[in-house]
Amino acid sequence: MKAPTPFPRGFVLGRLRTEHAHGIPGAWTSTDLPAEGWFFSYPSNEPPAIERDPQTGAWVLVHGLCLNADPQNPDTPPARYLLEHLLIGQDAFYHALDRLGGRHLILQGTPDFLTVYNDAAGTRSVYWSESAQVVASHLALLNEVHPHDRRNDAQEQRASLGTWDDTRFAGIKPLLPNHELQIPQWSTERFFPRASNRYTEWSDDDRREEFRSMWATQIRNLRTHHDDLVMSITGGADSRTALSLLLEFADDIEFFTYTSAEGDQSRWGRALAMDKTIVDQLMTVVSLKHQYFRATEQDARVLDELLPVVSRNTPHSHGRWLLPFYYQNFGHRQPIHLRANGFEIGRAHWGVRADNNTFDALKGVYWAETRTRSTGLPEEERRRRFEAGLVDWQWNGELHDYHLLDLYYWEVRSGRWLAEVFNETDIAFDTLLPINVRALYEISLSYPPVSRHGGHLFSELINDTHPVLNFFGKNDVRNLYEQKRDESLGGADTPRDAHHLGSTLLLTHQDGSETRTARTDTVIMIPKRHFLAGATVAREVRVPTDVDRSTLSFTVDAPYGNQRGGDNFRYEIHVDGEVSACWDGALVSRPVRVSVDECRPTTNVAVVVRALRDRQDIPSWENATRASVHHITRHRGQGAATGAGPMTSIDAPCPSMPRGS
């Protein structure tokens, strides 16, 4: 098999060809652009499409996988489609951008200026440097074309994908989704949202019909130009939605699922085995060209051979244990890999609610994300970077009816993470998210948070296309009947989060005696009979036992909130029996994100509810303390250990500790 080359499907946009040519791969082609002094370099087998208007001098360049998803103009090539709309006006051009799918770079220009765009979720990474006068597809590529100073440890934020725009090199920044890079000003401007969500007032039926129509238009254009398609499927909800919408094209797609070795009883092994069980169930009602791959069958020596190239493609490690599998099975073909990422942008992650569309809530999420991933930035510097990002990326302007946390998840969490995941797997295939059309994200965000938390739109899309697929469990081996049956019998199994929680609630009474109660859900609360000052209820959150050092992140979500109800109970995070963080259960009326760094296999982490006053036998106070622990993620530790032991951060204010805590 031919050895992989670095920076597949990449590009370099530069101004000084003689100065920058030494860092551009030798097999690439360079062409002058219709803008004075600018050139564009690309792999010779992947030329861009350029459309020009001789009367105005306007031009558009499209590079990469770009698909027209506009049902009204389904056959117009993307570059021509964009230029036609640009000649109408800039707003029309933005409207056209909203209806393009794929993974691509777009340049809009005249002889005097350039504007750079990436795809809707930024899955084509774009990095830029004003000092170098260069834009490139990969961080390492830009630095090879024009070297920059590497940040020191305190500045680097090793896994900097949780920040607005930090990278490992000072002066190199990413382009975030929904923003344009204007050259020669070298400034970024937000172009979305431009108005309130256009779909909010549409009927549910009309929204779903529009969604299905754009999705199908895009896939038909994909099949017209690409005949080698593969798709990975799992037992999750997003995979199920994508499968249901693609089944009419299933004859043209090869499906696969990776699973664990027989008898693997690790937590990860059990999760992969659950995927296989659910996919087996799906195969009883759908006919697919499908195969399973065992994750443990991969040759570690292959990964060692791939790492020198992969490490240039992306500075971060995402799923490298899968790379030998991908490369050995698909590297010789280089198909397009369809994935079901992107649906999560519309799922109201990070506790999106109608009452927390605030900068305080946004800062809380930023604080939790950067705390998990930082390697020593002082708190004041983190605060400075947060406030600078609000200005640099125009969060302080008009965002209409879009929720701050939704946009942050879209632009920063997905926009920075997904691109690097795909840069890593580029050695085997290009990647397409069929939902990666800005108008499809708009539709998914047009529903209220309570509907999005429950996945209403996506379940309805399955019901529209292949209703039987809703019958099988999503991340649950039981079908809907079995789930309903078990719930009525009081023996309901739980979401995946419950498997990361202890199986009992530990109630510590006023006198210090203890009682354990079995729980199979994600709930923690103080029973009304035992709501006496000093009593506590604890629920363990399990840390990984198969790695030496890890980070544990989760959300404690309690619906109660009453500004007059403070000092009655509080939530605490205990690490090895000590209170490491806490917040008032009544005054903080939103989900709280928690991160515990530097966990060891022996570390004990627990969520605790503590009664501060006697409220015995009052049902409303029991209900007030009721919370769920979910969105549990466990990451392998990154970077050098600090030696300081576990460290906890939360995105909520911590009150002073009363005596006796």
190: enclosing H helix or E strand? strand 187-190
How many C-beta neighbours within 10 Å does residue 209 have?
13
The SS3 of residue 73 is coil
Across 423-449, average pLDDT: 97
**What one-letter code names the amino acid at 605?**
V
What are the angstrom distances between the C-alpha of 490 and each of 479, 481, 625? Answer: 16, 14, 21
Residue 159 pLDDT greater than 60, yes or no: no
433, 428, 393, 401: which is closest to 417 by C-alpha?
Answer: 433
Burial class (CB in 10 A: 0-12, 13-18, 19+), 187: exposed
Residue 493's pLDDT is what? Answer: 40
Contact 258, 215 (CB under 8 A): no
Contact 494, 487 (CB under 8 A): no
Domain ranges of the chain: 12-190, 494-650
Burial class (CB in 10 A: 0-12, 13-18, 19+), 68: buried
CB burial string 539-576: b at 16+ within 10 A, e below: bbbbbbeeeebbbbbbbbbbebeeeebeebbbbbbbbe
Average pLDDT, the chain: 88
367, 346, 370, 353: which is closest to 557 by C-alpha?
Answer: 353
Query: Residues 221-274: pLDDT tens digits?
Result: 999 999 999 999 999 899 999 999 999 999 999 999 988 877 776 656 777 888
Contact 233, 257 (CB under 8 A): yes
Residue 491's pLDDT is what? Answer: 39
Residue 272's pLDDT is what? Answer: 81
Residue 634's pLDDT is what? Answer: 79
CATH of domain 12-190: 3.60.20.10
Task: Tell me which DSSP letter residue 309 carries.
Answer: H
Q: How many angstroms separate the CA atoms of 100 and 67, rounded? A: 6
Contact 81, 70 (CB under 8 A): yes
Query: Residues 517-569: pLDDT tens digits?
Result: 888 888 899 999 899 989 999 999 999 887 888 889 898 988 787 767 788 99
What are the angstrom distances between the C-alpha of 615 and each of 328, 449, 513, 622, 627? Answer: 63, 32, 19, 9, 18
Q: State the Cα torsion 75-76-78-83 to the nearest 10°.
A: -170
The SS3 of residue 405 is helix
555, 632, 553: which is closest to 592 by C-alpha?
Answer: 555
CATH of the domain spanning 494-650, picked from 2.40.160, 3.30.750, 3.10.310, 2.60.120 = 2.60.120
The beta-carbon contacts of 29-35 under 8 Å, at least 24 apart in sequence, are 33/59, 33/61, 33/107, 33/109, 33/114, 34/59, 34/109, 34/111, 35/59, 35/109, 35/110, 35/111, 35/112, 35/113, 35/114
Residue 341 pLDDT greater than 70, yes or no: yes
Q: How many angstroms separate the CA atoms of 307 and 299, rounded? A: 13
Q: How many angstroms separate the CA atoms of 285 and 274, rounded? A: 18
634: enclosing H helix or E strand? strand 627-636
Query: Residues 483-523: pLDDT tens digits?
Result: 777 655 543 344 567 788 988 899 998 888 898 988 888 88
SS3 content of the chain, % helix, strand, coil (to 5): 35, 25, 40
Residue 643's pLDDT is what? Answer: 61
Q: In what order do the strands lie in the sheet with 179-183?
A: 49-52, 59-68, 100-109, 114-118, 179-183, 187-190
644, 477, 523, 654: which is closest to 579 by C-alpha?
Answer: 654
Which neighbouring-strand residues pair with 649?
595
Q: How many angstroms separate the CA atoms of 546 and 42, rounded? A: 43
- Top pLDDT among 117 and 476 is at 117
Helical ranges in 89-201 per DSSP H: 90-97, 139-145, 153-156
Q: How many angstroms separate the CA atoms of 630 and 500, rounded? A: 9
Q: Of 185-199, 381-395, 644-658, where does mean pLDDT reach its minimum?
A: 644-658
Supply the angle between the helices 237-246 and 204-225 in degrees, to the nearest 10: 70
Query: Residues 456-469: pLDDT tens digits?
Result: 999 999 999 999 99
Task: Tell me which DSSP letter residue 3 carries.
Answer: P
